[in-house]
Amino acid sequence: MDTINFYRDGKITLREASELADVSLREMLDLLMEHRIKGNVTLKQQQKSLEYVERLLKS
């Protein structure tokens, strides 16, 4: 699947991969795990996501 290769090579994001494959984010993560592809999310991106969730929870 080209989408998995694009994601593995860092050419597209997880969201873009899921949209190209026409599957949910969860399904895309499952597909990547099946192909033994690790995520390409940086620590900084993870921290920003956590900060966003914390702000939402405080609202």
Each domain of the chain, given as residue ranges in start order, spans 2-58
Greater pLDDT, 44 or 37: 37
pTM of the model: 0.66
Q: How does pLDDT run across 7-27, given as a tens digit for each residue?
A: 999 899 889 999 999 999 889
45 or 53, greater pLDDT: 53
Query: Helix, strand or coil for residue 37?
Result: coil
pLDDT greater than 90 at residue 43 = no
For the CA atoms of 39, 9, 1, 48, what is the dihedral angle to 10 degrees? 30
